[in-house]
Structure 1
Amino acid sequence: MQKSGGSILASGNISTLSDFDYITAGFLLIDGEWATDHLLHVTAGKIKSVLSRDRVPEDAKIRDLGSGFLVPGFFDIQVNGGGGILLNDAPTMSGLEKVARAHLPFGTTSMLPTLITDEFDIMRRFAGAYCDIQSAYPLSIKGLHFEGPYLNPVKKGVHNERFIRNFEDKFLDLLDEFGLDHVLITLAPEKVSSDFIQALVQAGVIVAAGHTDATYEQTMDAVNAGLTGFTHLYNAMPPMLSRAPGVIGAAFQAPSSYCSIIADGDHVHPAVLKNAIASKTPDHTILITDAMPCVGSKNPDFILQGEKITVKQGRCTTSEGVLAGSAISMEDAVMRSINLLGQTLEDSVKMASETPARFMGLDHKIGLLKPDRQADLVFMDQAGQVQEVLTTF
């Protein structure tokens, strides 16, 4: 098993909540603070109430997890693969299920399966598989993330330039055809029109900038059109300069926007991420994994659209040394937020659960230990290491 050096296999136990009415631990994260002597009353897969121990019925069935920290399950909004599966190669119900189950032991009880830039037919199969699994057994899958194909080839990273293209109305048709909800799309603002961004937002899509070479002015025009996110801030975008603030400068100037970060210590220097969090605050910073098939798999290496990706010391790279996603889990992201970025456990958890849920408009369902939220829970130690994952699926 590897832990903070780049997760390959998980140690967290998975259990269901069906046998217990009340769940407690040494500390519960309630409204951003640690509460002691409190319990969660769980019924029908949801948190019915949060109450102090003296209000619990004497005959209540209680499970006490012990002297650790009970927090909301993590929500990873950028998962390219896991368990040996790359979703571009398996845009099917089976592929979605295997990836979701691979990430569950790491505390990821909610996720957005992510499709890297690909042919439209693959995008369509991906959308269909999501609809099928939602009607069968939704597990942890809360929506979809299309990373591309409307990107800037100059900042393509490992995305296949052959599949990068200009905006097309048939993406809007795809949304209508499958009735997709909670969709996130990463695009280059300079490669699409403001009208297209407005149309996406009107269709309920969350729009983020990424793999872009946009200027500050182009990005702010996109923000005014409805763009609210920035995908893996600093990566695959121009640097912020004194006379050319660019995409990053726009992210800092748009106070209501959200920035996702890959806190693996390789994609961005920790000092830079510390400054980003100080600017955006944990209320608008989201921890993501950008996870590849190696997470939750015994085989670290994999093939990405015909190119071999090697995983060494937690880094996924091409033969030319280009980073290709990451080998970290959400457990790693939280632990590194604490150890590398100096964030508190409670703020690290917020960036892994509440903040992404709010960004995707799902904070009324997940991301908080509050009444009417799903009872998807993570029990962890003070270092952020997952001890147990408690779910209803």
Structure 2
Amino acid sequence: MTQAQSAYIGARIFDGATLWDDHALLVLSDGETRIIGPQDIPSDCPTHSLDGGILLSGFVDLQVNGGGGIMFNDAPTVKTLATVAAAHRGLGTAAILPTLITDTPSQTAAAIKAVTDALDQGISGIVGLHLEGPHLSVARKGAHDGTLIRPMQDSDLRGMLDAVDHIPNLMMTVAPESVTNAQIRAMADAGIIVSLGHSDCDYDTAMAAFDAGARCATHLFNAMSQAQARAPGLVGAALDHGGAASGLIADAVHVHPAMIRAALAANQGPSEVFLVTDAMATAGSDVTSFHLNGREILRSDGRLTLADGTLAGADLTMPQAIRVMVEQVKDPLEKALARATTIPAGMLRCPPSQNRADEMMWLSQGMTKMSWIAEL
């Protein structure tokens, strides 16, 4: 019989959908957790009393370009992945998709190998790979290097279909201008999470791509055709297609809170909006600048930009994004927490374990401090 190992009281407990008040989190000897009433704590079980806050599973971030002072593009190796994952774990994120921004075929191959090796070695926090490019639209390249953007060839498709055999959670951001619906369908059928982004396509083209198997829009509103009265664009299609989820950078810089509210109201579901940080090398570090494809990215006042002011990723953590959603967007706290945990986890073919003791953390009342429960 599995024995109770410890219990935590005094904090609200989030089970992935609901916040429980006046309950206890029981940690069992096999590492599983259970939410119980305080009166049900075994008499011989050590009890830890917390001063408010929330107990919940670690965050799941499907778009992480770097952290700990380094970009994945700089050195796509297992060592880099371990550094980036550790930096994000220090910010409360238990599972990430390291993201390679548009780069050369050799760097893409190196990224696939690095993630494959990291998964084989069980590097904590690495659950797959996100390839953001190179099959995008130059017209909506954002901070991507336009000289490296290109259409998907048959050889590229074969490479992705081979990669997903080794990387079950493989996400690809593509633009319909650079891939065909047949290619999207082939990737989706193989289990690749196809996301539309960095695209200037029109509404009908985007809807056809979603019908072909694309399941997501990358950083909604940013680097894509906008919703207008007679031209809904990719934004409109992502919100109108019930099978399309949308990643969102909720830093109040990339998207105004009023537009986030409008998007949440317009989204048709059942697929939902989830949070991403789009984090760069700055995450979990004090660096004030870094380089991407030879161009300097500057960090200032919560923004990351190229010299010309173009946004280049985000200087954002998940707790900060949740605060923006709750305080400025007025999203219910339970929903905002789900957008950083269970909703992105549900996008994955092989989601990470949740509600296990080693992946549970405590967030302070104002979400300004966090600790893994093993550290409490």
Same fold? TM cut 0.5: yes
- The Cα of 1:374 is off from its aligned counterpart by 6.8
Output the CA distance in 1 between the equivalents of 2:343 and 2:337.
9
Output the CA distance in 1 between the equivalents of 2:350 and 2:10.
25
Deviations 1:95-120 (A, max 9, x none): 00101111112111111100001111
In structure 2, what is the equivalent of residue 159 of structure 1?
A: 144
In structure 2, what is the equivalent of residue 41 of structure 1?
A: 27
- The Cα of 1:21 is off from its aligned counterpart by 3.7
In structure 2, what is the equivalent of residue 204 of structure 1?
A: 191
2:224 corresponds to 1:237? yes
**Contact kept? 1:23, 1:42, Cα under 8 Å:** no
In structure 2, what is the equivalent of residue 136 of structure 1?
A: 121
In structure 1, what is the equivalent of residue 309 of structure 2?
A: 321
Output the CA distance in 1 between the equivalents of 2:146 and 2:136.
9
1:330 to 315, 318, 323: 318
2:105 corresponds to 1:105? no
- The Cα of 1:22 is off from its aligned counterpart by 3.4
The SS at the match of 1:320 is coil
In structure 2, what is the equivalent of residue 352 of structure 1?
A: 340
In structure 2, what is the equivalent of residue 306 of structure 1?
A: 294
The SS at the match of 1:201 is helix
Q: Which residues of 2 match residues 72-91 of structure 1 at below 5 A?
A: 72-91=57-76
Output the CA distance in 2 between the equivalents of 1:95 and 1:357.
23
**Contact kept? 1:282, 1:350, Cα under 8 Å:** no
The SS at the match of 2:177 is helix
When residues 141 and 67 of structure 1 are mapped into structure 2, their CA distance, relative to the original with a 3 A threshold, is: same
- The Cα of 1:357 is off from its aligned counterpart by 0.6
In structure 1, what is the equivalent of residue 167 of structure 2?
A: 180
The SS at the match of 1:90 is coil
2:283 corresponds to 1:295? yes
Output the CA distance in 1 between the equivalents of 2:71 and 2:56.
29
In structure 2, what is the equivalent of residue 227 of structure 1?
A: 214
**Contact kept? 1:262, 1:288, Cα under 8 Å:** yes
1:378 to 361, 372, 375: 361
Amino acid at match of 1:386: K
Deviations 1:10-40 (A, max 9, x none): xxxxxxxxx9543444211134232322223
Report the more deviating stretch, 167-176 or 99-108: 167-176
Cα RMSD over matched residues? Answer: 2.1
Output the CA distance in 2 between the equivalents of 1:329 and 1:356.
15
Amino acid at match of 1:215: D
1:119 to 99, 104, 110: 104
In structure 2, what is the equivalent of residue 32 of structure 1?
A: 18
When residues 155 and 203 of structure 1 are mapped into structure 2, their CA distance, relative to the original with a 3 A threshold, is: same
Output the CA distance in 2 between the equivalents of 1:141 and 1:24.
31
In structure 1, what is the equivalent of residue 272 of structure 2?
A: 284
The SS at the match of 1:126 is helix
Deviations 1:263-288 (A, max 9, x none): 11111111101111223379611111
The SS at the match of 1:264 is coil
1:258 to 223, 229, 245: 245
- The Cα of 1:180 is off from its aligned counterpart by 1.7
Amino acid at match of 2:76: P
Output the CA distance in 1 between the equivalents of 2:310 and 2:70.
20
**Contact kept? 2:242, 2:270, Cα under 8 Å:** no
Output the CA distance in 2 between the equivalents of 1:378 and 1:39.
11
- The Cα of 1:64 is off from its aligned counterpart by 3.3
The SS at the match of 2:200 is coil
Output the CA distance in 2 between the equivalents of 1:282 and 1:260.
14
Deviations 1:334-355 (A, max 9, x none): 1222222122322211111111
In structure 2, what is the equivalent of residue 15 of structure 1?
A: none
The SS at the match of 1:335 is helix
**Contact kept? 1:195, 1:225, Cα under 8 Å:** yes
Output the CA distance in 1 between the equivalents of 2:357 and 2:106.
34
Paired residues, number: 368
The SS at the match of 2:208 is helix
Unmatched runs of 5 consecutive residues or more in structure 1: 1-18
Amino acid at match of 2:341: S
Amino acid at match of 1:259: S
**Contact kept? 1:160, 1:305, Cα under 8 Å:** yes
% identical equivalent positions: 35
The SS at the match of 1:190 is coil
Task: Name segments (4+ residues, structure 1) moved above 6 Å.
Answer: none
In structure 2, what is the equivalent of residue 14 of structure 1?
A: none
Output the CA distance in 1 between the equivalents of 2:287 and 2:232.
41
When residues 391 and 215 of structure 1 are mapped into structure 2, their CA distance, relative to the original with a 3 A threshold, is: farther
In structure 1, what is the equivalent of residue 53 of structure 2?
A: 68
- The Cα of 1:391 is off from its aligned counterpart by 6.3
Unmatched runs of 5 consecutive residues or more in structure 2: none
**Contact kept? 1:27, 1:70, Cα under 8 Å:** yes
TM-score (norm 2): 0.92
**Contact kept? 2:23, 2:35, Cα under 8 Å:** no
- The Cα of 1:175 is off from its aligned counterpart by 4.1
The SS at the match of 1:196 is helix
Output the CA distance in 1 between the equivalents of 2:322 and 2:40.
33
In structure 2, what is the equivalent of residue 10 of structure 1?
A: none
The SS at the match of 2:85 is helix
**Contact kept? 2:92, 2:370, Cα under 8 Å:** no
